[in-house]
Amino acid sequence: MTRVDRTQRATRLGQVQLYVGSSLDIDDVRRYRDLFGGVTLQGHAGLRIAERLRRDGDLRGVDLDPAVYLDQRVSNQLTFDFDLEPFDWIRAQRDLGLAVVRSAGRRIRVGRVEDLRHELAVSYASDVRVVLVLDDGWMGSRHIDALEQQLMAADRDVSLIFAACFDPLDSANKMAGLRRVLRWSRSSGRMVELLRTDPAGIVAATEGTRLAAIGIGTSTRHYGLPLPAQQRPDYVRRQHSPLVFLPSLLHWQRGAVLAALVPWGGAGITNCECTACESAGQDLTRFGRVYGSIPREVTEAIREHDVLALAAVVRSLVGSPDAAAALKQRCSEAVRLGRSVAASFKVRLDPPPAWQTAWA
C-alpha cells in the first residue's frame, strides 16, 4: 500500500444498499429501501415494481439492473447482436424518471477484450452507466491489465457485476484486481459501481465505489454460472442447511454449523441485536438445523434477520468518523474470532472470505 493510496482513501462510505432479486413484493422493497436508503431492482419484475412506486409518487432511492445478461438468448451469443434485444431499457429507465440509468448489461467472458471494447464503445448518452458483467477471471493477474486499459481508453462510468460459480472475489489476487479498478476510478474521477455483490462491496464503498448493491441470497451476491458436474452433489446437499448472516463474522454460516455450536452456547459468535432476533428472544442458533427442504417460513425469517443485521453493519459504518478504519477493525476481529472458534471447538466453520483476509 503506497502513501498515495492512504492519502487518497476516502473515509466516507459510498452508498451501500440492497440488491433485490426478482421475487420480493412491493412492501418489502419499500421497507428495505427505507432501511438502506436505496435498493437496486432487477429486470422486468423490478421494472414493474418501479412503475407501481412511481404511480404512488414513491420512486426515491430506487434504481435498476436491467439484467439482460440473464436472458440465455443473449448470453449464448458469441457475438453481439443488438437486434436480439428489442426492449429499450435506457428509454424505460428515463421514462420512469429513475435518477440512475444503466445499459442493458451483457456478460463479457474472460479474456474477450474485443467484446469488452465493443460494449464500452456503444454510444449512449453521457449519463448512462455501462453495465459490465465480468467473469471473475478478469480480476486475476492475467487479465487485469487488459481490463484496466479498456476502462482507461473508454473513460466512462461503469457498473460491475461479477460472474462466477461461487464467490467471484475468492482470492487476495482478485481483491487486488478490484482495488486496481477502484484506483482507476479515483484517479480518473469516473464512477465504478458494484451491483449484485456481497459484503466485499462495503470494502469497495470505503475505497471509492459510489454505490455497492449487496444481495442477501446466494443468487443475488453475484451472477451464478453453472456448477461443474462433480461439485453439484455436494452443493445440493449443502442446500439442506440454510445460510445465516452472522454479524460477528460479517459473513454467512450454514445452519449445520450453528447447530454444532449449540453445546457451547453459540461460542460467542451467534448473537444478534436486530429487531427480528430481539423479538424472537433467541440468538442465531435458532436457525441451527438441517432440513430435507427448508420451509418457506424459515427462509423468510432468516431473510428478515439477514437484511436487518446487514443494515445495522452499514449504519454503524455510516455513523463512524472513519468508515475504512472502523470496517478494517471489524474485519480483523471477525477473522480472529472465526479462526479461534473453529480451532477451539472443532467446528467446521466456512473460512473467512478473501475480502476479509486480504484486507484485515
Binding site for Zn ion (CB under 5 A): 272, 274, 277, 305, 309
C-beta closer to Zn ion: residue 50 or 274? 274
Cβ at position 266, least distance to Zn ion in Å = 13
Helix or strand or coil: residue 189? coil
Cβ at position 294, least distance to Zn ion in Å = 17
C-beta closer to Zn ion: residue 192 or 272? 272
How far, in Å, CA of 311 to CA of 274, rounded? 9
Cβ at position 325, least distance to Zn ion in Å = 25
Residue-wise DSSP of 214-280: EESSGGGSSEEPPPPGGGHHHHHHHTTS-EEEETTTTEEEEHHHHHHHGGGGGGG-----SHHHHHH
C-beta closer to Zn ion: residue 43 or 247? 247
Cβ at position 310, least distance to Zn ion in Å = 10
How far, in Å, CA of 50 to CA of 47, rounded? 5
Tell me, rounded to whole angstroms, the distance of Cα 195 from its chain centroid: 6
Cβ-based neighbours of 104, under 8 Å, separated by 6 or more: 66, 68, 85, 87, 89, 90, 131
**Per the structure block, which three cell numbers stand in for 253?**
454460516
C-beta closer to Zn ion: residue 108 or 274? 274
C-beta closer to Zn ion: residue 101 or 274? 274
**Per the structure block, which three cell numbers stand in for 213?**
448493491
C-beta closer to Zn ion: residue 13 or 309? 309
Cβ at position 70, least distance to Zn ion in Å = 30
Cβ at position 21, least distance to Zn ion in Å = 20
Helix or strand or coil: residue 196? strand
Cβ-based neighbours of 214, under 8 Å, separated by 6 or more: 16, 17, 18, 19, 197, 198, 199, 201, 202, 221, 310
C-beta closer to Zn ion: residue 280 or 342? 280
Cβ at position 272, least distance to Zn ion in Å = 3
Cβ at position 309, least distance to Zn ion in Å = 5
C-beta closer to Zn ion: residue 35 or 309? 309
How far, in Å, CA of 345 to CA of 339, rounded? 10
Cβ-based neighbours of 33, under 8 Å, separated by 6 or more: 17, 18, 39, 60, 61, 62
The β-bridge relationship of strands 251-254 and 101-102 is unpaired
Cβ at position 120, least distance to Zn ion in Å = 41
Cβ at position 35, least distance to Zn ion in Å = 13
C-beta closer to Zn ion: residue 309 or 311? 309
How far, in Å, CA of 151 to CA of 143, rounded? 13
Q: How do the residues of the chain divide into helix, strand and coil, expressed in percent and rounded to 5?
A: 50, 15, 35
How far, in Å, CA of 10 to CA of 33, rounded? 24
C-beta closer to Zn ion: residue 277 or 341? 277
Q: Cβ–Cβ contacts within 10 Å for residue 198, how many?
A: 24
